[in-house]
Amino acid sequence: MTDLLTIAGRTFRSRLMIGTGKYATFQQMREALEASGAEIVTVAVRRVNLDRKEESLLDYIDLNRYFLLPNTAGCQTAEEAIRTARLARAAGLSDWVKLEVIPADNTLLPDPIATVEAAKTLVAEGFVVLPYTTDDHTVAKRLLDVGCATVMPFGSAIGTGLGLTSPDRLQRIIEVIGGQVPVVVDAGIGAPSDAALAMELGADAVLINTAIARAGDPVQMARAMAVGVEAGRMAYQARRMEKSTVASPSSPTVGRVGDK
């Protein structure tokens, strides 16, 4: 049985989405993408450097194989994010956008109100909107209500690798949103165990950049993350055992050597 991830009518086999930032070289990024098995790949939108010719990221990403998801990283207001999304769409690859509205306060935590505002406008303009959001379930519900194609709550702040600092809050989002649109845990994942936990909780996918790009061996870590996501997904489908505060032996309590 194939376990497909469906977003806005498009299906994917992989539940691991990968960012393309922070790699030492484009070649290393390409090898990590390959090792991860990811199909959705995020990119940023920036001014072309007119002072010197720079290598093109897209020369290292096979667009027949990977689905490019442009982000609005760096945008601090709804207006900036909408402008960047329009530019991304004008590049002619798709009308999907990973919406990020992040105030300049060094926390890299999203502005949920501006994110909902921007999402509303972009959905009305025909975009498929995948918003980066907080781990607040009411905000997630608002994003669902304005027509977002996913919700993407953080595990912890971008680039920290702290893992899932509030699994109970992610669990609540999954309870409120799950089954309506995919829940993608984005940001903060540091190790495959974090990715596995997100999937065990019932997340539909995870998005990882720094934990792979900044690992000692990014290609090996990309592979490890793919296995972590798969293990977590399988565990979720298998339904884990109930937790108990009382111990229970796994071996027979009768027939012990020397029993009277």
Partner 1 sequence: MTIVVNGRQRDITAGCTGVKLLEDLDLAAERIAVERNGEVMNRQTFAACTLAAGDVIEIVRFVGGG
User: Between 57 and 235, whose beta carbon lies closer to partner 1?
Assistant: 57
What is the spatial distance between Cα 217 and Cα 113, in angstroms, rounded to a whole number?
Answer: 38
Closer residue to partner 1 in complex, CB, 142/222: 222
Burial 33-55 (b: 16+ CB within 10 A, else e): bebbbbbbbbbbbeeeeeeeeee
CA angle 183, 155, 123 (to 5 degrees): 40
Interaction with partner 1 in 111-170: which residues (CB under 8 A)? Answer: 158
CA distance 72 to 78: 10
Determine, following the binding rule CB under 8 A, whether residue 87 of this chain makes contact with partner 1: yes
Residue 243 sits in the site that holds partner 1 (CB under 8 A): no
Of 16-24, 167-175, 225-233, 234-242, which part binds partner 1 (CB under 8 A)? 16-24
The residues near 199 (Cβ < 8 Å, ≥ 6 apart) are 15, 206, 228, 229, 231, 232, 233, 235, 236
Cα 212 to chain center, whole Å? 13
CB of 53 to partner 1, least distance (A): 6
47 binds partner 1 (CB under 8 A): yes
- Work out how close the CB of 187 gets to partner 1 at its nearest, in angstroms, rounded to a whole number: 8
Query: Is 53 an active-site residue?
Result: no
Q: Does residue 44 touch partner 1 according to CB under 8 A?
A: yes
Residue number, 152 or 202, with CB nearest to partner 1: 152
Per CB under 8 A, does 73 bind partner 1? yes
29 binds partner 1 (CB under 8 A): yes
User: From CA 104, how far away is CA 49, in angstroms rounded?
Assistant: 23
Pick from 117, 146, 111, 147: which is nearest to 132 by CA? 111
Closest approach, Cβ 49 to partner 1, in A, equals: 8
Residues that bind partner 1 (CB under 8 A): 19-23, 26, 29, 42-48, 50, 53, 56-58, 68, 70-71, 73, 83, 86-93, 158, 187, 207, 209-210
Q: Which residues are catalytic?
A: 98
